[in-house]
Structure 1
């Protein structure tokens, strides 16, 4: 990739990058865990007692600048991810920020395809979680140097600069660099007006915190009425709250319980607000179709992760079966890389794209997913249920709504 070849500004690329002429000299990682399992916060069908946790990363430069990043786990996985992050320090220490930010897509290709580590799978599993945290720390560092929030850095970039953040390898059959540039140019004249509107009214959001598997019906009602409906969502989002019920396994007792839980949620939020349900990968294809046929009477807008997060064909089959019921399929929080997202998006396997800001290669690869989803007309509603994810994803979604998608219906964080 060439360095911003098409940019016409008063400053050369070298001039713009001079502020980043600094060397990364230190990398530290902390293992931070919260005992959310005590109250069963975050509990679902496959994760009955999670401890929400994060590997917290600090990058320090020769000038004393610091950048902070993190990646999310459910507890014990922290130890493994922290060791992986530590093992990747050789890719970061001694690197010049100016060289990284001048052509970040090209730099990411090199680090993700390091000759010996690549066998573990670039942008996959623990490697992907680790790289996501490290890359997001780089963006935090850039924001502190430029004295701007990350969303503002992205919004102020020229289309060519955005494109040069992304590695288009393996996804050009979905979106080319030229198509990505056209999408960014399409809404460029309206960016200033939309930025002003976003700053005035904010963006829509949904909550996953009302229907956790371990919550009683009474607790669900209390959380909805007092914490979310009356205090937050009805006042900020103009009666547009989005709520999620977490589903169980396949048996007669569970069917009765989940029908009741959905009835409780729908009763709490009324007939006009959105409701979503989440299976957390519990079902097979036919189970998912059968379950949602029963729950369709509650008018959920989507079923989230109805089956294995890796099964693209099953998601396509489920999506096709649920279309007559006006129920979409949402997935992506556990999707491991942009190539899998490409297949989900192109196959019709997702109607709502739930990209996670702390996976893959962090912000850069997430931008590739945003561009593919935008081209295909699929709304992005990122996954944000976890330590630090809400703080990060608001930057991505603000950029999205200003620079790529003026529509707010079905697009939230």
Structure 2
């Protein structure tokens, strides 16, 4: 039984220009951390990610949700978590502040993720193991598929997972090989050209075969120059992604993306406002065959549904600390599987939680094991930090979701 709850506002100032992009030039990587203390002696830890200001508001909202599960048994809670998620996300007063977005939804992510962590810890297994061992029916019972009935019913979701069962063991080889990573830290926005060049060389030496550069400069020629630097150092065989972090309007995006084609980017990420589905559809058509990656700031399954329906995105970057947590992440992953669109999560949490979820996506849902973003700046703060060797995430073995922070021990 969950006997006590603690919510903490944890913030980390980054070194130098790390974490900077065209919009967020001075980020303070921060977590709204929910801890669920179970009478068994286990503590479930979950968080949502922010850039500093407002993190305290997310914590206050998380306390509101967490209080509603105090006194509950975690096994009983997770047996039908989809109904609980629906009830909490549609709280009659809190819902007005969203619905299903902003502070209240980030808070729900923090609490939801703590529930999944506690569930795995009580069973004594890593989260990826818990999820991949659940039956299709058990997985679907943890999901809220409301407002998706036109695309994905409970019966359809169950059938999709059952279809993957026959080949599941083949895909389990990823557990030994590890999950490929890509390096985002080569090209933060405020890094000099020289630092970008040097970081590319380091990433290659560390075994990464994909990397990402921040773009969105006031002078597009700066973006083009830096993109060609990365391509020059990385060579033609390395995947290079470009991330504008919503900086451009649609006419700018069309013009600049077409100019960036000359360095053969693997994708353009967040080119314009994340709520503007139709602008992304127009852009995708205008710059084809160049592909778009979207989702870092998409807050819920409904907007993802619209992106998939319009075929605006070639890669979906759903983030379990941006949407309503693990439950909604899995829901979006199933939608993406239906549409044949790869899931490559945004990793605002340094990959700690997502390393488990991409293993589940590959093994149980049948998604391609493409790669997972890697950002190293907060690794030292985790009890069990991600382990990347040769550019590959090594499979975590400790019980839970790898989200325990040293400052809270």
Tell me the alpha carbon deviations over residues 259-306 of structure 1, each in whole angstroms, 9 at most, x when there is no partner.
110011001110111111111001111110100111100000111001
Distance apart, 1:163 and its partner CA: 1.1
CA distance in 1, matches of 2:150, 2:22: 36
Matched with 1:318 is 283
CA distance in 2, matches of 1:309, 1:187: 32
CA distance in 1, matches of 2:52, 2:98: 23
Compared CA separation, residues 321 and 66, structure 1 to 2 (3 A): same
1:34 aligns with 2:12: yes
Question: Please, which runs of 5 or more residues in structure 1 have no aligned partner?
Answer: 1-22, 234-240
Correspondences of 1:96-175 after superposition (within 5 Å)? 96-175=73-152
CA distance in 2, matches of 1:258, 1:218: 14
Q: Which has the larger radius of gyration?
A: 1
Contact 2:74 2:118 in 1 (8 A): no
Distance apart, 1:127 and its partner CA: 0.8
Matched with 1:232 is 207
Compared CA separation, residues 46 and 375, structure 1 to 2 (3 A): same
1:222 aligns with 2:187: no
SS in 1 for 2:20: coil
1:393 aligns with 2:371: no
Choose the corresponding residue for 1:297, options 262, 271, 288. 262
CA distance in 1, matches of 2:90, 2:78: 18
Matched with 2:213 is 245
Contact 1:52 1:73 in 2 (8 A): yes
CA distance in 1, matches of 2:351, 2:75: 29
Higher helix share: 1
SS in 1 for 2:148: coil
1:334 aligns with 2:317: no
Distance apart, 1:97 and its partner CA: 2.0
CA distance in 1, matches of 2:129, 2:93: 36
SS in 2 for 1:31: strand
Contact 1:45 1:279 in 2 (8 A): yes
SS in 2 for 1:88: helix
Normalising by the residue count of structure 2, what TM-score does the alignment of the two structures yield?
Answer: 0.88
Matched with 1:183 is 160
Tell me the alpha carbon deviations over residues 188-218 of structure 1, each in whole angstroms, 9 at most, x when there is no partner.
11212211x1122112222211111110111
Number of residue pairs aligned between Structure 1 and Structure 2: 373
Contact 1:174 1:346 in 2 (8 A): no
Farther off after superposition, 72-81 or 286-295: 72-81
Distance apart, 1:81 and its partner CA: 1.3
Normalising by the residue count of structure 1, what TM-score does the alignment of the two structures yield?
Answer: 0.87
Contact 1:225 1:268 in 2 (8 A): yes
Farther off after superposition, 111-120 or 90-99: 90-99
Contact 1:357 1:389 in 2 (8 A): no
Distance apart, 1:99 and its partner CA: 2.8
Choose the corresponding residue for 1:84, options 61, 65, 71. 61
1:268 aligns with 2:233: yes
Question: Please, which runs of 5 or more residues in structure 2 have no aligned partner?
Answer: 374-409
Contact 1:341 1:369 in 2 (8 A): yes
Contact 1:56 1:70 in 2 (8 A): yes
Matched with 1:407 is 368
